[in-house]
Every structure is written in C-alpha cells, then in structure tokens.
Amino acid sequence: MEDLVRLLGKLGYRELARICGEEELKKSGKKIDLIKRLVDDVSEEKLRAYVMEYMGVGKKILEHSWVPKHVVMKEDKVKQLLERLGIKKNQLPKMLDSDPVAMLLGARPGDVLEITRVRETSGENKYYRVVVRSLRD
C-alpha cells in the first residue's frame, strides 16, 4: 500500500478528487487529507487501476507481444522451486513492486513471479523474480 500512497502523492489534487468523486474536492483543503481518505475508503484495486491508468499503463501492456507472460506463483510452488534450486527466496533476481507489470498483477513484496519467455531459437524458458520494495531488500 505504501507504493500506492507514494504514487498518489505524485498525482494532482484534481486527479485525486476524481478518484473518489468531485464532492471530496469541497471537503478537503489539503492534498494529504484527501490521500488519507482515499487509502481508508477506496479499495486498493481501484486505486492501483487508477494510478496505472494515470501513468499511461493499462492491462493491454500484458497482451503486448514484447511482454512475456507473468504469473504470481502460489506459496507451495515457490517452496518446491526453491528446494529444487537449493536457494533462498532472497537469492532470486529482484523485481520492484513499482514495476508496471508487478503493479498490474497486484504482486506484493515477497511474491515470486514466474516469467515465461518464448523464443524461436530456444523455445519456452521460465525465469523467476522475487518482488521487493527496493533493490536493497
């Protein structure tokens, strides 16, 4: 949720008011108050969708031919993967939670994404990324 609050802070006051309705524009004189009310009253999915729309990234990005298939893995599958590879989750390559694909999928820090790339020369290959807040995690 912190990533959404950070992104909401970048939006203009009118854009924020549009998310929750124009009546909110009259109730609050401060942008931070409006953000707090949005976080409390509006579902995270709706906020995430609006922020993605504002950033110019929609669900169509997932259908683009250059974007490989991404799937959030279930915890039992992650455990099997880590055992098979003999590593810990923090040893996987990282993906920021602010990455547009991670945001569209609703991936949270700690989730593991399975990325399936298809190439003419090598066929289908699977890659794995752990979602983190910052690259220092």
Length of the chain counted residue by residue: 137
For residues 78 and 81, give the distance between their C-alpha atoms in angstroms, rounded to a whole number.
5
Q: What is the pLDDT along the chain (137 residues), one digit of tens a residue?
A: 566 666 676 666 667 666 666 555 555 567 777 777 777 776 766 677 677 776 666 667 777 788 899 999 999 999 999 999 999 999 999 999 878 888 888 888 999 999 999 988 989 999 999 999 877 76
Rg (CA), the chain: 18
For residues 125 and 68, give the distance between their C-alpha atoms in angstroms, rounded to a whole number.
10
Cα distances (Å, whole numbers) of residue 137 to 70, 92, 129? 21, 12, 13
Q: Which residue has the tokens 């298809």?
A: 118
Candidate CATH numbers 3.40.605.10, 3.90.940.20, 3.30.70.2660, 3.30.1490.20; the one for domain 63-132:
3.90.940.20
Residue 91 carries which DSSP code?
Answer: G
* pLDDT recorded at residue 23: 57
Residue 66 in tokens: 């250059």
Spans of all domains in the chain: 2-56, 63-132
DSSP SS3 for 6: helix
